[in-house]
Amino acid sequence: MAEQNGTERPDADVVVIGAGIVGATAAWRLATAGVSVLMVDAGAEVDRGKALFHFRAHPENGVNAPYDMLPSAPYPTLQDSHYVNAGPDEFIGSYTRVVGGTSWHWTGFGTRFFPADFQSRSRYGVGEDWPLGYDDMVPYYRRIEQFWGVAGPAENAMDAPRDTPYPMPEIPLTYLDRQVAEAAHGMGLTVRAWPHLRNSELFDDRPPCCGNATCVPICPIGAKLDGAHVVNKARKAGATLLNPATVFRLVADGAGRITEAHYMRPDGVGGILRARHFIVACHAIETPRLLLLSGIANSSDAVGRYLMSQGSIDSRALVAKPVWPYRGPTTTGGIWEHRDGEERKQRAAIGISMLNRGFHAATGPIERAAELIHDGLTGHALTERLSDECSREVALNVSAETLPNADNRVTLSDRADASGLPRPQVFFRMDDYTRDGLAFGVQIQERILRRMGATEVDSDGAGLSVAIMAGSTRMGSDPTRSVVDSHCRSHDHANLWILGTSVFPTAPVSPPTVTAGALALRAADRLLEDLRPA
């Protein structure tokens, strides 16, 4: 590693750009095989105690409220979207540029994709087929589940078919889940428990979940897996970390091999990293931004294109009897039906989940108290009414898959961020396929809530998920239509690998993280073959 002040350090076999949960997983796999690995991240390391203090003190308590944002590594917040939105639908996908990445504030689902999710074009005539199938993924699903630690039920999980048990017992359904299940059963619907990347028992030196209901934006005790934990495992295996350091350019030689990664420290001091292989794992916005800034890996003109999210609508109501929200993980149960099947030929697959966080994550009782005080309640009358209404809050969320569309894309804007780099410009339009799925899901949610005794139901308008981003450097067999192959290697550069949800050809309704982690292990295994002596 060469810095502008002339200091020299040894080069690494592999430089991993982005020390989130996926990049750190690849770094760990490579380091355990004896490869020298250097992880680079633009953000600071997170002190959980300080982050909790920031969370409690923050006036808005959004998903990024606990985390310090360096001026040199800006990311979307409630106050400043970071995005330059150029499309008809506002893109609001949230990510965090800190060591450990966006998994600090994720929900923590531990699901696989369904077999049909890899073949939606062949099976349903929509979307895109992946250049690999479910059977190709099963060995890596098993490995990532064991490495990360997934808690799930012995049967009837909210997951794809499997032939091996989860590493840990399930996180149980909440009382709220069971009340929704009773209402849904009368409609022919089934509530199942989600598998979780949070501990149900002591696992890998992390404690079991104690049900704080603040998983988004932060687990206060570390029961929920986050990328910082995986970064530390990679370090113990021999990998090193350089941070904060923003990589802003990758350089290719005349033979098409990436030779250098240029970075800048917050104080303006720059440097150059050299390695035999480079991995970019910066999520679905920062990854294409770096490739576009570098002018590489884009012979297909697919870098930045096919950006996907999920459609999302919450429905809320005060039901007749107490259900006691604000307990347990953010989400523990969901509706099994309509996540896959022939209906995907006409409308998007949908996922309906119960939200243990009540009407508003973290601030629900405070907001309700403010409303009641505004209505004139004080003293004992206020506390009684507040207790009664908060106990009867039920919020349901429907999410719906979006289709890959070349016009939904990330480009470089003409507006600079605080680091002096072009801010990401995003064009996004939600298709009717997704809107039809959402509308169908809202009808189900409202029927469930009325069966629970609600007299008034409030449903949001159709919007995009703050949590899910995919596409923008998709994989495929055809180099003229995709950026990487089925092992996540760049079609244009033999020593460049791209990991994370940005390589997904489609964005199914199942949560994506376990699939991204499995692909990271698969890519690392393939990279190791390249590093072995001939």
Residue 448 has pLDDT above 70, yes or no: yes
Classify residue 139: in a domain, yes or no. yes
Burial 429-445 (b: 16+ CB within 10 A, else e): ebeebbbbbbbbbbebb
pLDDT confidence of 65, banded at 50, 70, 90?
A: confident
153-157, 485-489, 494-498: the lowest-pLDDT one: 153-157
Return the axis-axis angle of helices 364-374 and 379-391, rounded to nearest 10°. 140
Residue 42 has pLDDT above 70, yes or no: yes
* Range 318-346 average pLDDT: 96
pLDDT confidence of 109, banded at 50, 70, 90?
A: very high
Residue 149 has pLDDT above 90, yes or no: yes
Residue 227 has pLDDT above 80, yes or no: yes
Do you know the residue count of the chain?
Answer: 534
Residue 356 has pLDDT above 70, yes or no: yes
At residue 6, the pLDDT reads 39
Residue 452 has pLDDT above 60, yes or no: yes
Classify residue 43: in a domain, yes or no. yes
The CATH number of the domain holding residue 439 is: 3.30.410
* Range 20-36 average pLDDT: 98
* Range 132-157 average pLDDT: 97
% residues pLDDT > 70 (the chain): 96
pLDDT confidence of 472, banded at 50, 70, 90?
A: very high
> Three-state DSSP class for 194?
coil
E runs forming strands in 417-469:
422-427, 458-459, 463-464
Q: Distance (Å, rounded) from C-alpha 70 to C-alpha 158?
A: 38
Nearest to 362 by CA among 94, 60, 67: 60
- Pick the residue with more confidence: 308 or 80? 308
Q: Are residues 432 and 513 in the same domain?
A: no
Phi then psi for residue 91, to 5 deg, are -90, 125
Structure tokens at 167: 């590493």
Classify residue 181: in a domain, yes or no. yes
Domain boundary among 440, 467, 494: 467
- First-to-last CA distance in the chain? 27
Q: Are residues 445 and 459 in the same domain?
A: yes
At residue 10, the pLDDT reads 45
- Pick the residue with more confidence: 2 or 146? 146
The region, left, alpha or beta by phi > 0 then psi within -120 to 50, assigned to residue 299 is: alpha
Number of CB atoms found within 10 A of residue 50's CB:
12
pLDDT confidence of 363, banded at 50, 70, 90?
A: low
Q: Distance (Å, rounded) from C-alpha 472 to C-alpha 312?
A: 20
Q: Distance (Å, rounded) from C-alpha 516 to C-alpha 531?
A: 23
Mean pLDDT across the chain:
94
Q: Distance (Å, rounded) from C-alpha 55 to C-alpha 249?
A: 34
Nearest to 45 by CA among 247, 229, 295, 309: 229
Residues 196 and 108: beta-carbon distance below 8 Å = yes
Q: Are residues 289 and 432 in the same domain?
A: no
> Three-state DSSP class for 51?
helix
Q: Are residues 168 and 245 in the same domain?
A: no
Classify residue 173: in a domain, yes or no. yes
- Bridge-based pairing state of the strands 240-242 and 37-40: parallel
| Boundaries of domain holding 267 | 1-50+97-106+111-149+226-306+469-534
Nearest to 64 by CA among 85, 84, 43: 43
Write the DSSP assignment of 88-145 as a string of letters: SS--------STBGGGGGS--B-PPPPGGGGBHHHHHSSS-B-SS-HHHHHHHHHHHH
* Range 366-380 average pLDDT: 84
Residue 8 has pLDDT above 50, yes or no: no
> Three-state DSSP class for 495?
coil
Phi then psi for residue 414, to 5 deg, are -95, 15
- Bridge-based pairing state of the strands 246-252 and 409-416: unpaired
Residue 445 has pLDDT above 80, yes or no: yes
Classify residue 85: in a domain, yes or no. no
Classify residue 412: in a domain, yes or no. no
At residue 534, the pLDDT reads 58
Domain boundary among 420, 444, 467: 467
Structure tokens at 358: 């009540």
β-strand partners of 17: 40, 280
Which helix (H) or strand (E) element contains residue 275? strand 275-280
55-69, 297-311, 314-328, 515-529: the lowest-pLDDT one: 55-69
Q: Are residues 473 and 346 in the same domain?
A: no
Residue 54 has pLDDT above 50, yes or no: yes
* Range 178-207 average pLDDT: 97
The region, left, alpha or beta by phi > 0 then psi within -120 to 50, assigned to residue 248 is: alpha
Q: Distance (Å, rounded) from C-alpha 498 to C-alpha 486?
A: 11
Q: Are residues 238 and 287 in the same domain?
A: yes
Q: Are residues 199 and 241 in the same domain?
A: no
Residue 278 has pLDDT above 60, yes or no: yes
Residue 60 has pLDDT above 80, yes or no: no
Structure tokens at 289: 């931004």
pLDDT confidence of 362, banded at 50, 70, 90?
A: low
Residue 210 has pLDDT above 50, yes or no: yes
The region, left, alpha or beta by phi > 0 then psi within -120 to 50, assigned to residue 460 is: beta
Q: How many domains does the chain have?
A: 2
Residue 79 has pLDDT above 80, yes or no: no
% residues pLDDT > 90 (the chain): 83
Residue appearing with tokens 């991995």: 279
Residue 122 has pLDDT above 90, yes or no: yes
